[in-house]
Structure 1
Amino acid sequence: MSPTLEKAAPATGTPAAGGKLGHGLKQRHLTMIALGGVIGAGLFVGSGAGIAAAGPSIVLAYALSGLLVMLVMRMLGEMSAANPASGSFSVHAERAIGPWAGLTAGWMYWTLLGVAIAAEAIGAAGIVTGWLPGTETWMWVALFMVVFCATNLAAVANFGEAEFWFAGLKVVAITVFLIVGVLAVLDAFPGHAAPGLDNLTGAGHGFLPNGADGLLVGLLASVFAYGGLENVTIAAAESENPRAGVARAVRTAMLRIAVFYVGSMAVVVALVPWNDPKVVEKGPYVAALDRLDIPHAGTIMEIVILAALLSAMNANIYGASRMAYSLVARGQGPAFLGKVAGSVPRRAVIATCSYGFAAVLASFWWPDTVFKWLLNMVGATVLVVWGFTAVAQLRLRRKLERESPELLTVRMWAYPYLTWLALAGIAAVLVLMLREPDTRTQLYATGGLAVVLSVVGLVRQKRTARR
């Protein structure tokens, strides 16, 4: 690594941060984190609203947003393979743009993950209380918080092992669904006639049953379903071979997105009419399995969705705590969070879980005010993070080619043209968010958070420069 990059890099741990992170994640852990990160609760549950709005064109929506995500992940992979860091895109933004950008991207992401932890805990508790109606939601939320806080307070290998099995269950479930669905579409599933092309043409309503507006709603829904893929580049910094691990994960991103997202959406809309109420009420995957009369389809998918929610909760606690630790190590946060014990930033883990639990309490006590405001505030955060990532890659690529070309083991395709295309795509999604009242509110709230953090970052940057 060049002296300039090494100086700018926050080491995996620094004396100022109170210790060092370890390298307890094995390659199998990183591989499954990368695979499992693609298969989130947003795919199993949130895609139903997208299908209801876009109809069969949801396949096109997921393909378009998937292309954008692949470009972002390729850029992030290029920078992370050259310089693995627990702060990932926040570190790269700081090097390329300035400390204020690293602070803004990092703390926005931490805020996003904290709210996501709360939403996932509530969703998981809702499933369990459905099975055990005599129990209360808060009991299960508290249990999940304690379990995953404890998991993340222990050695990082515990987190890796938990994600390995969670991800394995999700991968097996989606693979079996795809196999069964393809057999049914090809008229090879016993006892069921193939639906033909009727569902793919909107059952008489066309491929775009709600026109371009429906496609745009589906596109927005699909963009946010991809959130969370960034965690693999955070986890890579604690793996046995960070450069090779992140490079391998990023290189297979295209296949995973094409198969798990676009492929499964194609199977769902081929099997189930887009306007079937069950698509939204029960979720698209349950609706598809019900069409095939799969016994206990609802229960099977509830188990898979529960695993997806708990997996995302576990991963988000990990990702948020490492992001907070990295920010503190770079002097961008309260120093007491930087304490490391047993190669784990335990204070950052506890702070993250406390924030997530506070958000849960807000959902119970102030669901229509405070919690709704939190949800709106983080609504477009992933787009801000992707924007910082693209700008950072534009600048750092030239620097790497000039100073350390040997570190470019992963290269962005057709640089800089596809980077500019990705930036244009991000800008286009932001403009589309202005069309819908709900997403417009999210955009304004997220923009307000970004402005506040940017001002704080710029003030800190100027004070540091004067000192």
Structure 2
Amino acid sequence: MTRPPTLTAEGGDPAAPPPSTPPVEDEGGLRPGLRNRHLSMIAIGGVIGAGLFVGSGSGIAAAGPAILVSYALVGLLVVLVMRMLGEMSAADPRSGSFSAYADRALGRWAGFSIGWLYWFFWVVVLAVEATAGATILGGWVPAVPQWAWALIVMFVLTGSNLASVASYGEFEFWFAGIKVVAIGAFIVIGLLAAFGVLPGSDHPGSGFSHLTDAGGFLPKGPGAILTGVLLVVFSFMGSEIVTLAAGESADPRRAVSKATNSVIWRICVFYLGSILVVLALVPWKDPAVTKEGSYVAALDTIGIPHVGTVMDVIVLTAVLSCLNSGLYTASRMAFSLGRRGDAPRAFHRTSRRGVPHVAILSSVAFGFLAVWFNYQWPDTVFQFLLNSSGAVALFVWLVICLTQLRMRPIILREAPEKLVVRMWLFPYLTWLTAAVIVFVVGYMLTDDSARDEMLLSLLVAAIVVAVALVRRAVGRETPAEAPAPDAGP
């Protein structure tokens, strides 16, 4: 019987005696430049994507007020997955996060496959967010073509990521801060208007009556809740970024523990709270919910002047935040893959500032290519990229569940003192979460609006897994990750 992998440094001797103290593993050239305030804001802002502002209207139109249940179900799923990931990350912080853990617990093919799929997802996101940002900026300054704006925002954020990890953290601190303040203000102002106590508001003060006054709370039946789940599930992607970033902080275990414990209130406030306010202010059947966007429609009912411009600024901030984090996340995953021999070894090189410059430039190069595809062939090539990466979030969450099932006994055997975060009701809740994810995948295959996206995502995943298995069959798979040059004995 093969001995399970251990919690020793990757590439180290599993039989070697453990050190007297459990230091955080060296990351092979990365420098801990993220401060606690950076990680705190990354954790808070990581669950707030541009999709919350611009994509929630389609969910409301599809499910009515019951979209709240859809958000709650997906939010619960994210809380459980983050708890599992937090358990593993607090025990063993590293830039590869779940890909490195899958490599250890499930096999090299699993770490290779999910790492490359995750990298692919984020470089496609780079193109989506750069184009979205260019559309807003082009509306403000039409003399500059949209493609030029897309290049400008990509160049600026690439420069910040190349400068140092602290630069990324500082940009994200302010981007996320603006999102948090904006949503907090929206919730407070919206609730005051909904109950008719906001001075100068044009809203009639209907309270929560809009939740039931147009066909009840479930106007389209219980099945619409699942339809809503499919529409909102991908707007939660990004919660796991803090576990990748923690490896470049001075106290990663504390950062991961704090982020994992706070994910519940973050989802309740920012997602459920803001969507509840939208539904309280605007009847769900109002065409403006999808035409103008749910948040713009809600602010219009209050009578706030220049609401369109206000929302454009907020959405642009969310777009730049997502682009900034997407570039960081893709580059760190590429760095981890290079370190483990699952990508070109050059991806593992770091600059004198301690940033993986080759991985950053390689990731942004594909992002530039995807932007070009978006402008040249938006309905063919780029749509294929978009659809084939759309379900990666579900694949990542499923791999985290399966990995945690194997990692818990490994941690308990090798370093039980590192188990500072624990998944609740293990292993039953882990298995239940995995079963729910598999159910959502299966339901997408039966849904006309989601079937193509799931089929293409499964096709790309099958190709990547096949490449991993072929690498193993022909002996291209390296037996273990080479230790970092400055790692201790």
TM-score, normalised to structure 2's length? 0.91
Residue aligning to 2:420: 409
Residue aligning to 1:158: 167
Residue aligning to 1:5: 7
C-alpha distance after superposition, 1:285-313 (max 9, x if no partner): 11100000011111111100000000000
Once the two structures are TM-superposed, the CA of residue 131 in structure 1 deviates from its matched residue by 1.6
- Give the secondary structure class of the aligned counterpart of 2:227: helix
Cα–Cα, structure 1 residues 48 and 392, in superposed 2: closer, same or farther, change >3 Å? Answer: same
Residue aligning to 2:225: 215
Q: Which deviates the most, 132-141 or 319-328?
A: 132-141
Mapped to 2, the partners of 1:461 and 1:100 lie a distance apart of 8
- Give the secondary structure class of the aligned counterpart of 1:204: coil
Residue aligning to 1:98: 107
Unmatched 5+ stretches in structure 2: 13-24, 480-489
Residue aligning to 2:431: 420
Once the two structures are TM-superposed, the CA of residue 229 in structure 1 deviates from its matched residue by 1.1
- Percent identity between matched residues is 50
Residue aligning to 1:272: 282
Mapped to 1, the partners of 2:158 and 2:214 lie a distance apart of 51
Once the two structures are TM-superposed, the CA of residue 12 in structure 1 deviates from its matched residue by 4.4
Contact residue 109 and residue 385 of structure 1 kept, 8 A: yes
Once the two structures are TM-superposed, the CA of residue 349 in structure 1 deviates from its matched residue by 0.4
- Give the secondary structure class of the aligned counterpart of 1:5: coil
Mapped to 1, the partners of 2:177 and 2:83 lie a distance apart of 24
1:396 aligns with 2:398: no
1:128 aligns with 2:137: yes
C-alpha distance after superposition, 1:374-425 (max 9, x if no partner): 0111010010011110000011011112221110111111111110111011
Mapped to 2, the partners of 1:275 and 1:435 lie a distance apart of 26
Mapped to 2, the partners of 1:72 and 1:231 lie a distance apart of 13
Cα–Cα, structure 1 residues 230 and 466, in superposed 2: closer, same or farther, change >3 Å? Answer: closer
- Give the secondary structure class of the aligned counterpart of 2:341: coil
Contact residue 445 and residue 455 of structure 2 kept, 8 A: no
Contact residue 339 and residue 347 of structure 2 kept, 8 A: no
C-alpha distance after superposition, 1:43-63 (max 9, x if no partner): 111111001101101111100
Residue aligning to 1:301: 311
1:364 aligns with 2:375: yes
TM-score, normalised to structure 1's length? 0.96
The one-letter code matched in structure 2 to 1:399 is: I
Q: Which deviates the most, 265-274 or 191-200?
A: 191-200
Cα–Cα, structure 1 residues 255 and 401, in superposed 2: closer, same or farther, change >3 Å? Answer: same
Mapped to 2, the partners of 1:54 and 1:133 lie a distance apart of 37
Mapped to 2, the partners of 1:204 and 1:238 lie a distance apart of 50
Cα–Cα, structure 1 residues 110 and 394, in superposed 2: closer, same or farther, change >3 Å? Answer: same
The one-letter code matched in structure 2 to 1:258 is: C
1:234 aligns with 2:283: no
The one-letter code matched in structure 1 to 2:54 is: V
C-alpha distance after superposition, 1:206-258 (max 9, x if no partner): 21222234322211111111011111110001011111111111110001001
Residue aligning to 1:434: 445
The one-letter code matched in structure 1 to 2:6 is: T
Task: Show structure 1 runs of 4+ deviating over 4 A.
Answer: 9-12, 464-467
Once the two structures are TM-superposed, the CA of residue 181 in structure 1 deviates from its matched residue by 1.2
Once the two structures are TM-superposed, the CA of residue 336 in structure 1 deviates from its matched residue by 2.0
Q: Map 1:64-463; keep pairs closer than 5 Å.
A: 64-190=73-199, 191=201, 192-201=203-212, 203-341=213-351, 342-462=353-473, 463=475
Mapped to 2, the partners of 1:362 and 1:44 lie a distance apart of 25
The one-letter code matched in structure 2 to 1:5 is: L
> Quick check: which one's helix share is greater?
1
Contact residue 234 and residue 319 of structure 1 kept, 8 A: yes
Mapped to 1, the partners of 2:196 and 2:102 lie a distance apart of 51
- Count residues in correspondence: 460
The one-letter code matched in structure 2 to 1:182 is: L
Once the two structures are TM-superposed, the CA of residue 453 in structure 1 deviates from its matched residue by 1.2
Unmatched 5+ stretches in structure 1: 15-19
* Aligned-residue RMSD, C-alpha: 1.6
Residue aligning to 2:19: none
Residue aligning to 2:68: 59
Cα–Cα, structure 1 residues 465 and 329, in superposed 2: closer, same or farther, change >3 Å? Answer: closer
Mapped to 1, the partners of 2:478 and 2:93 lie a distance apart of 30
Once the two structures are TM-superposed, the CA of residue 9 in structure 1 deviates from its matched residue by 6.9
Residue aligning to 1:17: none
